[in-house]
Chains A and B, each alone.
Chain A
Amino acid sequence: MFLKFSLRSVFYGAGGGNDIQWCFSQVKGAVDDDVAEADIISTVEFNHSGELLATGDKGGRVVIFQQEQENKIQSHSRGEYNVYSTFQSHEPEFDYLKSLEIEEKINKIRWLPQKNAAQFLLSTNDKTIKLWKISERDKRPEGYNLKEEDGRYRDPTTVTTLRVPVFRPMDLMVEASPRRIFANAHTYHINSISINSDYETYLSADDLRINLWHLEITDRSFNIVDIKPANMEELTEVITAAEFHPNSCNTFVYSSSKGTIRLCDMRASALCDRHSKLFEEPEDPSNRSFFSEIISSISDVKFSHSGRYMMTRDYLSVKIWDLNMENRPVETYQVHEYLRSKLCSLYENDCIFDKFECCWNGSDSVVMTGSYNNFFRMFDRNTKRDITLEASRENNKPRTVLKPRKVCASGKRKKDEISVDSLDFNKKILHTAWHPKENIIAVATTNNLYIFQDKVN
């Protein structure tokens, strides 16, 4: 029995990941196959309570879904997510000096913890970060003395009595308003934003620099990492992701295109060009190829909720690192090892440069990441079981358990397996998110958002 658990084989039966049975819940977005470019989802993020789920798209829009309150009588499923607010976060811009168009695509959304009735989130495109306030209005004042109900001003001479305006209920209106705009601090493309555990500052990272901001101050930021060489001819490495530690407000990490992660302590010096720790796994000589560097490039880095571990995603694998051990990860999970023999083709069609994200579940026991053919993978760190599931509209009725998928790398393809050559490399799942407290996941295909839940008996 223990021997079985020590082999990392794809698990066939229902579940995988704490024996969770994942069921289709909802899908959002257009049904037709013709994808409008503006609708391509570029980021997905739950807020701290999990009640709200935000998506950003290539057209610069943010759509927020809200989980409806559980109906205690009908406890067959958790609340559904319905559209709560939609707003245009970023517009396309034109940089006249460089003669460049600045894309409005939302690269990242990060929620602030809720402090009052309103919700706040940061959204960013390649160059500008914005702080949005999302607030509800369900009352409005009525009975003005100088204005009619429709807003027209009354002739003051017709006013004969005075009354005190009162608040009356109205249909719920959700308003999004930009409260801060943090602009002009990044020459290169912003790939990450991360809010500090002090809830006062946040960092933004582009290809070569990381800046530290105060949420209240927009006209100034501190540069805390700068890897731009004096001579650009010597440029061989870029920053690919950055994140603050969830508990230590002085600590952050950033990953690079060479597969390294640097942990920095802001107390050590103002400019954190010298890392406190450098996490790097030596290259496996038996797997060396011309593409070794490209596939080692880290596309995402995420701290565990506990703060003790961090997870990195490179092209073929997910690695879990213990912050106390720099020379190798403590766990490595192969996402789609069958692609290793196809790297040449994937280099030719640029798929090898795809940037997949990864995420932890609320208890840090399971990690999830996306793959091709609208497949996504989950790895249970305790049982060492993994599962491959598909986000597809076919055969997905609410509360039907998802059927595990398997890719046949070579040799005889079994029934229900799919061969590597049949995979659709245009259907990639780059963005996934896990509810902070429950087993609810959001998985983004190109232009659809799927929500899956575990089966509630």
Chain B
Amino acid sequence: MLSKGLKRKREEEEEKEALAVDAWWLDSGHPAVAQAPQPVASSSLFDLSVLKLHHSLRQSEPDLRHLVLVVNTLRRIQASMAPAAALPSVPTPPTAPGAVDNLLTSSDAALSASMASLLEDLSHIEGLSQAPQPLVDEGPPGRPTGGAPPSLGALDLLGPATGCLLDDGLEGLFEDIDTSMYDSELWAPASEGHKSSPEGGPGKEEAPELDEAELDYLMDVLVGTQALERPPGPGR
């Protein structure tokens, strides 16, 4: 959520690798790409959708349309897979064997929960950056929204390029940020692995890519560098 720029590049490469390995299912002969409609989606289509969702949520500012469409598609796939008692064990790295089943049993709630928490983060941030808006929301419809929000005190953000960083306020701000996304159950089985899922326990041998300590360190680094660095220039 907060400045994923550093992380994103590495994950994109990893995801590309994952997709490349998975590409076998794109073979036209493979049943997964048979003509629509498919009564039951293959688990690889499900995994692909989860991967896309994961990737989308990891963006520093997710493309809302892409996100919503992927989530809706994922729900459709889930709904068609739900009656399936047992799935064929499809070896799809980086998920561990059996993790797909775990994912299915917990996924609907987990999906909603993680998506909800991330979207709440978005609206939480919105609430911070446009502090007067919640007040104006109470007013009559057709309300005038602040074209330039009145002074917000410590959160004064008039003009995106003012570059005014909060002095002591920045640290305090981050302390209040909802970190539930780092606790997301969904991410552990589906992706390179953030933290252990509630189900995942003794069976999961693979180490998560980034553990909690590393995440905290990363956040500290980012908070520190933001205070120092200029924003990247054009032509990136």
Contact = CB atoms under 8 A, between A and B. Distances in A.
Contact of B65 (A59, A93, A94, A257): A257
A104 B152 CA distance: 26
A12 interface: no
B159 A183 contact: yes
Nearest to A182: B147
Interface stretch (B91-99, B111-119, B179-187, B199-207): B111-119
A36 B234 CA distance: 12
B9 to A, nearest CB: 14
A271 interface: yes
B69 A222 contact: no
Interface in A84-126: 91-102, 104
A60 B155 contact: no
B218 interface: no
Nearest to B133: A187
A409 B217 CA distance: 54
Determine chain A's interface SS by DSSP, over half rule. Answer: loop
A294 B234 contact: no
Contact of A232 (B38, B116, B160): B116
Contacts of A217: 147
B126 A207 contact: no
A96 B164 contact: yes
A205 to B, nearest CB: 12
Interface in B41-88: 41, 45, 48, 52, 60-61, 63-66, 68-69, 71-73, 76-77, 80
A353 to B, nearest CB: 6
Given A96-B226, A288-B37, A269 B142 contact: yes
Contacts of B141: 269-271, 273
Contacts of B77: 290
Interface in A271-297: 271, 273, 287-291, 293-294, 297
Contact of A224 (B45, B64, B142, B160): B142
A92 B234 contact: yes
B153 interface: no
Interface string A410-430: 000000000000000000000
B235 A220 contact: no
Interface stretch (B28-36, B190-198, B208-216): B28-36
Q: How large is the interface on B (under 10, 10 to 19, 20 to 34, 35 or more residues)?
A: 35 or more
Contacts of A36: 235
Interface string B214-232: 0000000010001000011
B123 A232 contact: yes
Contact of A96 (B5, B45, B64, B157): B157
A238 interface: yes
Given A189-B63, A291-B73, A344 B45 contact: yes
Interface in A183-222: 183-185, 187-189, 207-208, 211, 217-222
Given A38-B234, A187-B130, A238-B64, A94 B73 contact: no
Nearest to B120: A232
A184 B148 CA distance: 6
A60 B233 CA distance: 13
Contacts of A59: 234-235
B48 A347 contact: yes
A38 B148 CA distance: 29
Interface string B134-146: 0000001111111
A257 B69 contact: yes
A345 interface: yes
B132 to A, nearest CB: 11
B106 interface: no
B151 interface: no
B144 A222 contact: yes
B64 A208 contact: yes
B21 interface: no
Given A99-B2, A100-B60, A288-B37, A127 B145 contact: no
A288 B79 CA distance: 15
B90 interface: no
Given A98-B129, A223-B143, A232-B120, A184 B149 contact: yes
B130 A188 contact: no
B68 A237 contact: yes
A236 interface: yes
Interface string B157-193: 1111101110000000100000000000000000000
Contacts of A99: 2-3, 60, 222, 226
B38 A221 contact: no
A97 B72 contact: no
A301 interface: no
A300 B222 CA distance: 38
B143 A353 contact: no
A289 B37 CA distance: 4
Contact of B160 (A127, A271, A343): A127
Nearest to B64: A207
A235 B119 contact: yes
B73 A294 contact: yes
A242 to B, nearest CB: 14
Among B66, B69, B144, the one with the most A-chain Cβ atoms within 10 Å of its Cβ is: B69
Given A232-B120, A291-B36, A98 B61 contact: yes
A128 B234 CA distance: 17
Contacts of A290: 36-38, 41, 45, 73, 76-77, 80
A220 B147 contact: yes
A341 B147 CA distance: 46
Contacts of A38: 234-235
B125 to A, nearest CB: 5
Which 3 A-B pairs have CB atoms at the shortest separation, nearest pair first? A270-B142, A289-B36, A271-B141
28 contacts: A38-B235, A92-B233, A93-B160, A96-B163, A98-B60, A99-B3, A99-B222, A101-B231, A102-B160, A182-B147, A183-B147, A183-B160, A184-B149, A207-B65, A217-B147, A218-B148, A222-B145, A223-B145, A233-B120, A236-B72, A237-B68, A273-B141, A290-B45, A291-B73, A294-B73, A344-B45, A348-B48, A350-B52
Given A98-B61, A219-B146, A223-B142, 15 more contacts: A93-B231, A97-B125, A99-B3, A184-B146, A185-B146, A185-B147, A187-B130, A223-B143, A223-B145, A233-B116, A236-B71, A238-B68, A288-B37, A347-B48, A348-B26
